[in-house]
Amino acid sequence: MEPFKKQTGIVTLLDLPNVDTDQIIPKQFLKRIERTGFGQFLFYDWRFIDGKKPNPDFEMNADRYRGATILATRANFGCGSSREHAPWALLDYGFRCLIAPSFADIFHNNCFKNGILPVKLSESQVETIFERVRKTPGYRLTVDLEKKKIVSDDGLDFTFELDEFRRHGLLGGLDDIGLTLQYENKILAYEANHREISPAPPGQTSI
Amino acid sequence: MKPKTMFEKIWEAHVVHEEAGQPSLLYIDRHLVHEVTSPQAFEGLRLTGRRVRRPELTFATMDHNVPTTNRKIPIQDAVSAKQIETLVQNCSEFGVALFDLDSPDQGIVHVIGPELGLTLPGQTLVCGDSHTSTHGAFGALAFGIGTSEVEHVLATQCLLQDKPKTFWIEVNGRRPYGVEAKDIILSIIGRIGTDGGTGSVIEYAGETIRRLSMEERMTVCNMSIEAGARAGMIAPDEKTFDYLRGRRYAPDDFDAAVERWRKLPTDVGSRFDRVLRVDAASLAPQITWGTNPGQVVAVDVCVPNPSDFSDPNARKSAERALDYMGLKAGTAMTEIPIDRVFIGSCTNARIEDLQRVARFVKGKRVALKVYAMIVPGSQQVKKQAENEGLDRIFKEAGFDWRESGCSMCLGMNPDILKPGERCASTSNRNFEGRQGKGGRTHLVSPIMAAAAAVEGRFADVRKYGRKGA
């Protein structure tokens, strides 16, 4: 996983609340067995007309947002299905940071496993970002995870909250499985002491 | 001793390691796997040279991609076929039990888990699927995870989890005729919103919940995720134990297990972060009008007007939803004609759902212009339904009777809506395009779906009364 330290990039907008993961990556693209190559299908039904022509009414398609690495959107982003294909598609398209008033739980978790930083700001702070982005083509923000700050050349300066564990993991690009395996002795001890709770079901042999 | 919630008891019994300011390392008792969210996880194991730590606690089936027509015909979609074949290979390579397409136990992962006794009270159970909340109906802590977490559980049998908040939803009062478990949960989602449960584990309680059958409890817990909740759960009781006794993977020392399970229910005097009380007696059958499960009304009212919503986000959502759904504010819900009916999914494709539908449609006919299908949740459900002659009732009434799978709940297989088609669906999500691009989904209970099939438009099932059904 690529570490996330500091990102400066163009901000694009998705002005809708409750964007579900079916919209982020429609079901017909979940049949692939790879983690890569999902960016072309991101927001597929909204981005394209008949699956080919870019939809001019989809704000993100405007030239001014080309090359954006930060997505600002509304509340409860990523609700619905647990599909990790959603963060894979966002990452593959180029997004490293998402800004919204709130995120759905499973999606939020999935972002951190893929080096994407989801930043929660208040509704009014998100509104401020929307206003500034709409006013200034090519509007950029700098997201600094070390300092937990979002700043811009025009003086925007927001601080955000993130628990230390996740911040540390993203800064270092750490692999959760590697971290957990450091507790191998504890897992073994748990397994030895809790056979009653988690036995092998009848007919299943423990290896 | 401080009183504890059921959630706290299960959580504490599964903590392997915890440190202040860090997520807890939780032990996972049961891991269910399906073809869509697992290939990249197994590939991750392969790339890092890791094995499945406890394959004997891991069970797989294929459900999302599978056609629900004749199983003997090879799968036409090459990409789907490859994903299914990949699961077969992965299970064989890593020693995971698989209920394959030709298995008499194949079915939707959230239907077969309980059916086989894989789901047990007091467990932590995960699956790379958001509707894993279903299994909470047994008093388990069950939640959906992403593919990276699937890999994490495969490799370590543990998960890093932040401790969620607790949310007590108490439902009391006698349900009127025509109000099903589906209506209870839809009305709750309508009240608290699709993010009302975010960060929380919901415990459903109260006399109405106690009176629900196990299958009805599964319907309620299933849709906890549609309220954004991490999980939903219901305390185990005699019904739970009776349901599980004799199931294939239920513990051999069943009585000893029951004694442990009796200690799980929430202690009197426990504190919850949030409480909601619902009066079941005042509920009506529910029907969604929009493009998320929170956009729901009682069947006897009209499509809402966006200007009714004071919150600007809700107003904008409503405008967009009505446009997508092709609906006009003020139209009575019962005036909306439908093209398709889908009775199935991990929410409503168990035997009792089918039995209720059969009782309702017996001697009636699906409206001429409606195409209606019934997709059993598992091969076991299918077999039982056929043994009881339900399939004949369905076919005589004009329903298509299919093989088990996720089918038109999510349109990953050949069962999809065409653009503009309107569907009465017993599934769990009415998102734009969920059942097919441009498809218009209205979520309802099985009996409401059956009534819509017969009338060709949405109908208030209460008019049929107990006699008619």
User: Could you tell me which residues come within 8 angstroms of residue B253 by beta carbon, excluding any fewer than 6 positions away?
Assistant: none
> Nearest C-alpha of chain B: how many angstroms from A84?
5
- In this complex, the residue of B29, B48, B199 whose CB is nearest that of residue A198 is B29
Residue closest to B335 by CA, chosen among B417, B455, B193: B455
CA separation for the pair B13, B11 (Å, rounded): 5
Q: How many Cβ atoms from other residues are within 10 Å of residue A144's Cβ? A: 15
Residue by residue, DSSP assigns chain A as ----SEEEEEEEEE--SS-BHHHHS-GGGTT--SSS--GGGTTHHHHEETTTEE-TTSGGGSGGGTT--EEEE-SSBTBS---THHHHHHHHHT--EEEES-B-HHHHHHHHTTT-EEEE--HHHHHHHHHHHHHSTT-EEEEETTTTEEE-TTS-EEE----HHHHHHHHHT--HHHHHHTTHHHHHHHHHH-TTTSPPPTTPPP-
Under an 8 A CB cutoff, do B432 and A23 touch?
A: yes
Collapse the DSSP code of B229 into the 3-class scheme (helix H, G, I; strand E, B; otherwise coil) and give the result.
strand
Hey, are the CB atoms on B249 and A199 less than 8 Å from each other?
Answer: no
Is there a contact between B148 and A176 if contact means CB atoms under 8 Å apart? yes
From the CA of B69, how many Å to the nearest CA of chain A? 19
Instruction: Please report the pLDDT score of residue B193 as a whole number.
Output: 96
| Inter-chain touch A75–B313, beta carbons under 8 Å | yes
Q: Which residues of B touch A176 (CB under 8 A)?
A: 148, 152, 160
DSSP characters over B394-455: HHHHT-EE--SS-GGGTTSSS--PPTT-EEEE-SS---TTTTSTT-EEEE--HHHHHHHHHH
> Are A202 and B251 inside 8 Å of each other by CB?
yes
Mutation target among A108, A162, A180, A194 for the B interface, most CBs of B within 10 A: A180
Instruction: Sort out which chain A residues have CB atoms less than 8 A from B157's CB and list them.
Output: 187, 191
Q: Where are the alpha helices (H) located in B228-364, listed in sequence order?
A: 238-244, 254-261, 312-325, 351-361
Chain A residues lying within 8 Å of B97, measured CB to CB:
204
Q: Which residues of A168-184 are buried (b: 16+ CB within 10 A; e: fewer)?
A: ebbeeeebbbebbbebe
Distance, in Å, from the CA atom of A146 to the CA atom of A111, rounded to the nearest integer, reads 18
pLDDT of res. A51: 86
> What average pLDDT does the structure give for chain A?
95
Report CB contact under 8 Å: B194, A79: yes
- Cross-chain CB nearest to B433 (options A22, A181, A186): A22
Tens digits of per-residue pLDDT, A117-167? 999 999 999 999 999 999 999 999 999 999 999 999 999 999 999 999 999
pLDDT of residue B274: 98
Question: Which of A31, A186, A206 lies nearest to residue B79, judging by beta carbons?
Answer: A31
Low-confidence spans in chain B with pLDDT less than 50: 468-469
> What digits encode the pLDDT tens for the residues B78-104?
999 999 999 999 999 999 999 999 999
Q: How far apart are CA B74 and CA A166, in angstroms?
A: 45
* Local structure of residue B198 (DSSP, 8 states): B
Q: Which of A80, A164, A186 sits opposite B21 (nearest CB)?
A: A164
- Supply the DSSP symbol for B224: G
The pLDDT assigned to B466 comes to 65
SS3 of residue B276 by DSSP? strand
**Contact A22/B429, CB-based, under 8 Å?**
yes
Report the pLDDT averaged over residues A43-50.
Answer: 95
| Residue A152 Cα, gap to closest chain B Cα (Å) | 26
Residue scoring higher pLDDT (A58 or B467): A58
Chain A residue numbers with beta carbons less than 8 Å from the beta carbon of B27 are 187, 190-191, 194, 197-198
pLDDT at A206 over 80: no
Instruction: Return the residue matching tokens 């449960």.
Output: B197
Contact flag B130-A106 (C-beta cutoff 8 Å): yes
Rg (chain A; Cα; Å): 20
Dist CA B373 CA B343 (whole Å)? 6
Q: Find which of B124, B147, B245 to mutate to test the A interface (most A CBs within 10 Å of its CB).
A: B147
Indicate whether this complex's ipTM tops 0.85. yes
- The reported pLDDT for the residue numbered B72 is 84
Is the Cα dihedral A127, A132, A134, A138 positive or negative? negative
Which CA distances in Å does A26 have to A22, A86, B396? 5, 9, 36
- B342 DSSP 8-state letter: E
What contacts A52, CB < 8 A, 6 or more positions away? none
pLDDT of res. A133:
98
A203–B248 C-beta distance less than 8 A:
yes
pTM metric for this prediction: 0.97
Q: Quote the minimal CA–CA distance from A141 to chain B in Å.
A: 24
For the sheet containing B422-425, what is the strand order?
A: B400-401, B371-374, B340-343, B422-425, B440-443
Could you tell me if B348 and B355 are in contact, meaning their C-beta atoms sit under 8 angstroms apart? Answer: no
Give the one of B22, B56, B128 whose C-beta lies nearest to A207's C-beta.
B56
CA–CA gap between residue B196 and residue B212 (Å, rounded): 23
Question: What fold, for A6-173?
Answer: Aconitase; domain 4 (3.20.19)
Element (H, E) at B385: helix B379-387
**Nearest-neighbour CA in chain B from A186: distance (Å):** 6
pLDDT of residue B468: 43
With a CB cutoff of 8 Å and minimum separation 6, the contacts of A193 are: none
- For residue B257, give the chain A residue with the closest CA: A196
Asked whether B462 and B285 are in contact (CB, 8 A), the reply is yes
pLDDT value for B469: 43
Residue of A52, A186, A198, A207 to mutate when probing chain B, most B C-beta within 10 A: A198
Helices (H), B54-108: 78-94
